């Protein structure tokens, strides 16, 4: 019987833990290394079908080491509860894993430095639906500069790494804290998430079989059966290490 990637969650958990360990020592952005207390990698199950991507840790997140634990996080919990979900069921990450000083906006070079961590999180968790919270996550994962106000509430299928996902841009929860009318918009957008999840992952492009010689070599390898004991989430295949 084929092994679905989601039934290999324990392998994915180990990959995520290893990724978190590596990220915890990241020193690519000198100013953020100075300003952070710790790297805020992300939280949630490795087999989550829904991934939420925010902007960057704030003071509470920097102190506690988890994403969305401050005021925005409490609102996020309420929004999730409103659609029958809890944060234990979703993976939550940010574009930046370190708090920018004075909560300033992420800089383009910081986004560029940090985005491989997010790409690898997306690759390992392999969610069906990715909700981008606000401009930074939306622009990064849509790959253009359209403002959130123009694209929010419109699901689209987007290539993220090697996978197709249902991308769903919504306002950042902080936008609803600062401007109450945004809350209704955010609640209405969240209400669309269960139906997106029910659709499951979008159709995937067939995998690139690679050069014929490489196929032959892999197939001839003793001990790796048709179901691939090395697994689709093997570290080598993800290029994690
Ligand atoms: N907390 C986070 O973890 N991310 C944000 O984008 C805002 C608050």
If you write DSSP's letter for every residue of 109-175 in order, what string do you get?
HHHHHHHHHHHHHHHHH--SEEEEESHHHHHHHHTS---HHHHTT--EEEEETTEEEEEEEE--HHH
Alpha-carbon gap, residue 49 to 168, rounded angstroms: 13
User: pLDDT at residue 224 above 80?
Assistant: no
Higher pLDDT, 70 or 240: 70
CA dihedral 172, 95, 24, 4 (to 10 degrees): 100
Q: Is the CB of 100 under 6 A from ligand 1?
A: no
User: pLDDT at residue 2 above 50?
Assistant: no
Residue 133's DSSP bridge partners are 170
For CA atoms 98, 236, 18, 43, the dihedral sign is positive
Q: Is the CB of 128 under 6 A from ligand 1?
A: no
Least confident of 152-161, 197-206, 228-237: 228-237
User: pLDDT at residue 236 above 80?
Assistant: no
Q: Is the CB of 57 under 6 A from ligand 1?
A: yes
pLDDT tier at 205 (50, 70, 90 boundaries)?
confident
Ligand 1, closest atom to CA 54? 6
Ligand 1, closest atom to CA 133? 6
Ligand 1, closest atom to CA 134? 6
Question: pLDDT (tens digit, 9 = 90+) per residue, 9-18?
Answer: 569 999 999 9
User: pLDDT at residue 218 above 60?
Assistant: no
Least confident of 23-37, 41-55, 168-182, 220-234: 220-234
Alpha-carbon distances of 197 from 41, 45, 121, rounded to whole Å: 24, 16, 19
Q: Token pair for residue 185?
A: 């918009």
Separation of CA 162 and ligand 1 centre (Å): 26
User: pLDDT at residue 86 above 70?
Assistant: yes
Q: What percent of the chain has pLDDT over 90?
A: 78
* Structural contact between residues 22 and 107, judged by C-beta atoms closer than 8 angstroms: no
Ligand 1, closest atom to CA 66? 3
Separation of CA 97 and ligand 1 centre (Å): 10
* Whole-structure pTM value: 0.84
Q: Which residue's CA lies nearest to atom 6 of ligand 1? A: 55
Other CB atoms within a 10 A radius of the CB of residue 142 amount to 16
Separation of CA 57 and ligand 1 centre (Å): 5
Q: Phi/psi of residue 211, each to 5°?
A: -65, 145
Q: Which residue's CA lies nearest to atom 8 of ligand 1? A: 68
Separation of CA 159 and ligand 1 centre (Å): 24
Alpha-carbon distances of 45 from 124, 153, 170, rounded to whole Å: 11, 25, 22
Alpha-carbon gap, residue 41 to 64, rounded angstroms: 11
Ligand 1, closest atom to CA 55? 6
Separation of CA 55 and ligand 1 centre (Å): 6
Question: pLDDT (tens digit, 9 = 90+) per residue, 110-147?
Answer: 999 999 999 999 999 999 999 999 999 999 999 999 99
Q: Token pair for residue 187?
A: 């609640």
Mean pLDDT of the chain: 86
């Amino acid at each position: 019987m084929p092994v679905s990637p989601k039934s290999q969650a324990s392998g994915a958990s180990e990959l995520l833990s290893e990724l978190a360990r590596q990220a915890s020592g990241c020193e690519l952005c000198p100013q953020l290394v100075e300003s952070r207390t710790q790297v805020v990698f992300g939280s949630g199950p490795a087999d989550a079908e829904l991934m939420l991507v925010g902007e960057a840790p704030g003071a509470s997140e920097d102190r506690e080491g988890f994403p969305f634990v401050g005021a925005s996080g409490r609102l996020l919990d309420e929004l999730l509860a409103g659609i029958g979900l809890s944060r234990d069921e979703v993976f939550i990450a940010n574009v930046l894993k370190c708090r920018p000083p004075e909560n300033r906006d992420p800089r383009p070079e910081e986004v560029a430095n940090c985005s491989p961590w997010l790409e690898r999180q997306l690759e390992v968790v392999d969610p069906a639906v990715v909700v981008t919270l606000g401009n930074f996550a939306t622009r990064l994962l849509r790959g253009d500069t359209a403002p959130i106000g123009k694209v929010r509430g419109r699901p689209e299928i987007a290539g993220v790494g090697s996978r197709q996902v249902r991308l769903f841009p919504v306002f950042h929860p902080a936008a609803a804290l600062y401007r109450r009318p945004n809350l209704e918009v955010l609640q209405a957008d969240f209400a669309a998430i269960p139906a997106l999840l029910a659709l499951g992952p979008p159709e995937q492009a067939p995998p690139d079989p690679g050069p014929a010689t490489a196929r032959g070599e892999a197939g001839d390898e003793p001990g790796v059966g048709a179901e691939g004991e090395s697994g689709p989430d093997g570290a080598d295949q993800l290029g994690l290490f």
